[in-house]
Amino acid sequence: MTTETCNLLGLDQAALTAWLAARGQRAFHARQLMAWIYRRRCTNFDAMTDLSMAFRAVLKEQARIVPPELVDTRESRDGTRKWLLDSGTGNRVEMVFIPEADRGTLCISSQVGCAMDCAFCATGAQGFNRNLTSAEIVGQLWLANKLLPPRTCDLPAVSNVVFMGMGEPLANYRNLLPAIRIFTDPLGFNLSKRRVTVSTSGLVPAMDRLSEEGDVSLAISLHAPDNALRDELVPINRRHPVEELMAACRRYIQGGTHRHVLIEYVMLDGVNDTDAHARRLARRLNGLNAKVNLIPFNPYPDARFECSSRERIDCFREILLNAGIMTVTRRTRGDDIEAACGQLAGQVRDRTRHRIGARRLQSEITA
């Protein structure tokens, strides 16, 4: 009878220390292992020469360090890269790297598909299969830094991580939190908490938990200034309406120092982009320490929306700026390889269309 091995990529420092203790190993070995895994990106236990041979034998028998399997790579004319990763049983997820002069941002996935069913998102159209494990989430950043050339001799390629890929991160909270801890641990990837951003469609109870346990940057997929329209575009609004969501945003900001919230607003022609929508949004955000990110809609096969014109987006932005709300228009990156915001679809098979309110989905959110 064989014992299933543990993928160490999924264990934060506390969990790794506990795993070692259960095998009679001392706590300092956790620091050694994390240095090999995250600084040297080593997966071969035999190469970890500062560990005893006996300890290495235990690791080879009971542990592994396995990032997601790379299936395909595509590169955009603007330098954006998209990777397709195997997640088992015919399912595949995507992650995207966006290079800039002063940073490298990795957009990672948290689920195979998504159950949020937002009206304008290709991922939601794929349905939902399962949550990614913490090892599969952490493995995306590990793999990207392994594949990409470093920014400098001392700095890896990825400086920022955004949970804006496939899935609703806060619906996979139990696996999200260990990943965040590894991303920000000095013994892990040593990212600043301000350089890790979790995007959510509005799972209020999990937002409050993240405020206490995660302390990272938060992005809200708002996309409408009122309940009637948001109910149609972002169905989770029927459970947590805009007023409740804005109150949670204020609690999140008050829960830590130097916190702000990023409001994401996709621009849909004739749907949510009028001057009246902009004025209602300005009133909704009044007094909130938030920055608005206007996102030109990126088309995908069978999409039923079109992008607002550049003139309409500029006018919308001007109204918000005049109301004293910091507002920028996101530059579209990677749309020629379907790597832009809202276009990630992966390959989701054996999917179950869990929708908002489904019992299983609720159990995942509150776990």
Task: Please identify every residue annotated as catalytic.
Answer: 94, 341
The 10 Å CB-count burial string (b at 16+, else e) for 166-192 is: bbbbbbbbebbbbbbbbbbbebbbebe
- Cα–Cα dist 202/249, whole Å: 10
DSSP 139-150: HHHHHHHHHSPP
Reference 111, options 65, 179, 160; nearest CA is: 179
Strands (E), 35-180: 63-64, 69-75, 81-86, 92-99, 104-107, 111-113, 128-131, 160-163
Beta bridge partners of 220: 200, 263
Length of the chain as a residue count = 367
Q: How many CB atoms sit inside 10 A of residue 28's CB?
A: 10
